[in-house]
Structure 1
Amino acid sequence: MTEEQRAEQGAGEGAERRTVDSPEVLKALAHPLRLRILRHLGKTGPATSTTLATALGENTGTLSYHLRMLERAGLIEDIPERSTGRERWWRGVRGLDIRRPPQSELTDAERAMAGELDRMRLEEDVELLRQFTAEQGTSEGWMRGSRGLSHLTKAELDSFHDDYLALLARYARGPEEAPEDARPVLLRWFGLPAG
């Protein structure tokens, strides 16, 4: 899936990684509110449906439904030791490497969901690029970017991608483990033939 999702859900150094590539995960991700829930949990840490409803401007009934969908897909989990009575605390599942199932294994409906997820991610990425361009000069070093060109074989591109994922896993941690001076940082990588 996206490296952002891997970063938000990723494991810290030495933690076990688990690859997830089912159509159910794709379906769970192909909804804007669910993406916002995952982003919020990734940025701020565990939350209840009530605190999420307040933070995201939604009602608790709507949030509860979408939390159940994310839980069924294995993207979030409740924290039994923090939950009391009817109030459940949720956190993103750590150590997930979310990958898109091969196109040949998807139904037409699942391919349509994948297209919708791509559209939502593209809109988000374009907005992040606008923000980067507008604010990089005043970010005090918090915004970094790089562009490059290399001549690679497909095997080398695959290796580069795997190395990138390993690097993400090495630096990935949630808000609970982050030092006081850490900030959530969105990361992107993509490679494509130059023409």
Structure 2
Amino acid sequence: MAQQPGGTEIADLAALKALAQPRRQQILQHLALHGPATSAILARGLGLNTGATSYHLRELARYGFVEETQGNSPRRQRWWRAVPGDRRFLPRSRQTTEMRLVMDELNHHAYAADVELFERLQRESSTDDFAYSRSEIRLTDAELREFFEEYIALLNRYKRAKGETPAGARVVHTRLMAFPAPSPLPTPTPSAPETHAPEESS
């Protein structure tokens, strides 16, 4: 993964494939939300067996997405944590055909999981803990990149360690999707009225 001023680019296809596996996405999400865990803790939390979680953790560690850390148990167990950082995928224009296929699959699973979670939590909630916005703006490609960087900067302003958050604070999922509107359909050209040759009679 290459370090860039705006974050760490995942430019290696093998690393991208390792990250795109749905179970590994769940493991990373669990570690990000709940902190360090063993393969047994992850197995119980995700409904897997410890052999599967151990394998997925090793694959994630191979590409630097997780790492071993000090655990909370006196027993000798392997504890894992998600490696923090601003990871970014290559722009679509720089992705190979195979990368695009992997990215499409990753996005499909990620968005489906997000929508399912959003709908479930919304049904269960009766408080004002949901914020939703939908809009359209006109931007050049350069302005869209600037808009994205400003969003990331805003997000980072609110990122704090658990011990630094005020009473009543909770984890809130945030998502940003920005994509071009489809091109307008061409306006049909009015057809000229049909003309008929005069009938001939004999």
TM range (shorter): 0.7 to 0.9
Identity %: 43
Task: Indicate the RMSD between aligned Cα atoms, in angstroms.
Answer: 2.8
Task: From the CA coordinates, give the structure whose radius of gyration is larger.
Answer: 2
Matched, 1:48 2:38: yes
* Counterpart secondary structure, 1:99: strand
Structure 1 unmatched runs, 5+: 1-15
CA contact (8 A) 1:30 1:114 kept: yes
**Structure 2 matches for 1:96-135, cutoff 5 A?**
96-103=85-92, 106-131=95-120, 134=123
TM-score, normalisation: structure 2: 0.74
How many angstroms does 1:146 deviate by? 1.3
Q: CA, structure 1 residues 189+132, in 2 after alignment: closer, same or farther (shift >3 Å)?
A: farther
Per-residue CA distance 1:22-56 (angstroms, 9 max, x = gap):
33331122111101101111111110111111111
1: CA distance between counterparts of 2:82 and 2:47? 20
The structure-2 alpha-carbon separation of the partners of 1:130 and 1:39, relative to structure 1 and needing over 3 Å to count, comes to same
1:153 aligns with 2:143: no
The alpha-carbon deviation at position 191 of structure 1 amounts to 1.5
Which has the higher mean CA deviation after the structures are superposed, 146-155 or 47-56? 146-155
Cα gap change, 1:18 to 1:122, in 2 (>3 Å): closer
Shift of 1:126: 2.9
Query: How many Å separate the matches in 1 of 2:42 and 2:143?
Result: 42
Q: What are the residue-to-residue correspondences of 1:1-195 with 2, within 5 Å? A: 18-23=7-12, 24-80=14-70, 86-94=76-84, 96-103=85-92, 106-131=95-120, 134=123, 138=126, 140-173=127-160, 175=162, 178-179=165-166, 181-195=168-182
Counterpart-to-counterpart distance in 1, 2:83 and 2:6: 11
Change in CA separation of 1:18 and 1:80 when aligned onto 2, cut-off 3 Å: farther
- CA deviation after TM superposition for structure 1 residue 177, in Å: 5.7
Higher helix share: 1
Tell me: CA distance 1:180–1:63, structure 2 relative to 1, closer, same or farther (3 Å). farther
User: Structure 1 residue 175: deviation in Å?
Assistant: 4.9
